Amino acid sequence: MTDRPLTGQVALVSGATRGGGRGTAVQLGAAGATVYVTGRSTAAARSPMNRPETIEETAELVTAAGGHGIAVPTDHLDIAQVAELTARIDREQGGRLDILVNNVWGGDPLTVWDKPLWEQPLDTGLSLQRQAVHTHIITSWHVLPLLVARRRGLVVEVTDGTADQGYRGTFFYDLAKSSVIRTAQAQAGDLRPYGVTAVALTPGFLRSEAMLDHFGVTEDTWRDGIAKDPYFAMSETPVYLGRTVVALAADPQVSRWTGQSLATWGLAKEYGFTDADGSRPDWGGYYGASLREGGAVPEDYR
C-alpha cells in the first residue's frame, strides 16, 4: 500500500465531529482523500451532546493530515438537509463519491442501563432508534445512487460489536447496534450487482474524547484510567478505526468482505496496520480470553 492510496477519492463521513468519526475522517485525509465531514456540533452552536468538538475542527485536521476536509453541518434525521448534502457532493465532485462511512450515533444520553425493556422510557428508546438507525437509512437512501452510478465504492456501517455477539446489556442500545449490522448486510445484498461493497465495522474499547473525559485522563495519561476499569488497558484510539477504513478502501479485492460484520482487531492482523502507538490491540481476543479463563494479560493482546 502506498502512503496516499486514496488520492483523488471522495469520502463522506457522517457523525465526524469527534471519536471514531473524526479519527476515520482524518485517516482518510492522510491517505489523500477529499472528505466531507458532517455533524450537528459546529463553531456556531453545540448539539444536544453538548461537547466542545466541532465539524470545522475535524475538517481542519483532515486538511492538515494531507487531504481536503469539507465541513457540512447536517442533522441526518432531517431529510431535507441530507438531500442538500448529497446534491452538494454531486455538484462539487462531478457526481463522484467513493466511500460512505455511516457513523452517526449520538445515543449516549438516550441509553438507559441496568433496567429491562419495560422499565425504560419508551419515548427515549424510540428516539435512540431514530438517532442511531434511521439516520443511517436516510443517509444511505440519498447517497447510495452516487456510488451505484459509478458501479464502485465502499459503504461502512460503524457499530458496536459483531454479528455473533450476545446481548449488549440493555434493550434499545442492543437493538440499535444490531440493526446497524443488519443494515450493512441488507445494503450489501442490494449493492452487490452494482459493484459496491457494504460492511459493518466495530472498534474495540474506543478511547474517544468523551471516554477520556469519563476516566478523567488525557491521551498522554490514559493508562491512569486502568485503575478505574481494567478493561481500559485494551482500549484503542480513533486512529485504529480510521486505519481500518483506509485499509478496506484501498483494497482492490474489498468485495470479498461485502455483507460481513468486521472488527478493527481482525482487520489489523489481515492488513498489517497498527494503532497510533504502534501496538495492535486485539480487543476481541482479550475479552474472549477474559471470559473463558479470567486473568488475561493485556500486554499479550496488544
* Residue partners of 119: CB distance under 8 A and separation at least 6: none
- What pLDDT digit, counting tens, does each position of 12-29 carry? 999 999 999 999 999 999
Ranges of each domain in the chain:
10-301
Q: Which amino acid is at 211?
A: M
pLDDT at 293: 78
- What pLDDT digit, counting tens, does each position of 207-259 carry? 999 999 999 999 999 999 999 999 999 999 999 999 999 999 999 999 999 99
- Beta partners for 229? none
Q: What is the mean pLDDT of residues 2-8?
A: 92
pLDDT at 48: 87
- Beta partners for 156? 101, 199
- What pLDDT digit, counting tens, does each position of 36-73 carry? 999 999 999 899 888 999 999 999 999 999 999 999 99
Active site (annotated) includes residue 36? no
* pLDDT band per the 50, 70, 90 thresholds, residue 35: very high
pLDDT at 161: 97
106 vs 131: CA distance, rounded Å: 7
Domain 10-301, CATH 3.40.50.720 — does that match? Answer: yes
SS3 state of residue 262? strand
pLDDT at 88: 98
Q: Which amino acid is at 139?
A: T
pLDDT at 266: 98
| Whole-number CA gyration radius for the chain | 18
Given a contact cutoff of 8 angstroms between Cβ atoms, the answer to whether 135 and 77 are in contact is yes
Given the residues 36, 173, 240, 286, the one annotated as active site: 173
* Residue partners of 249: CB distance under 8 A and separation at least 6: 5, 6, 9, 11, 28, 31, 33, 98, 99, 154
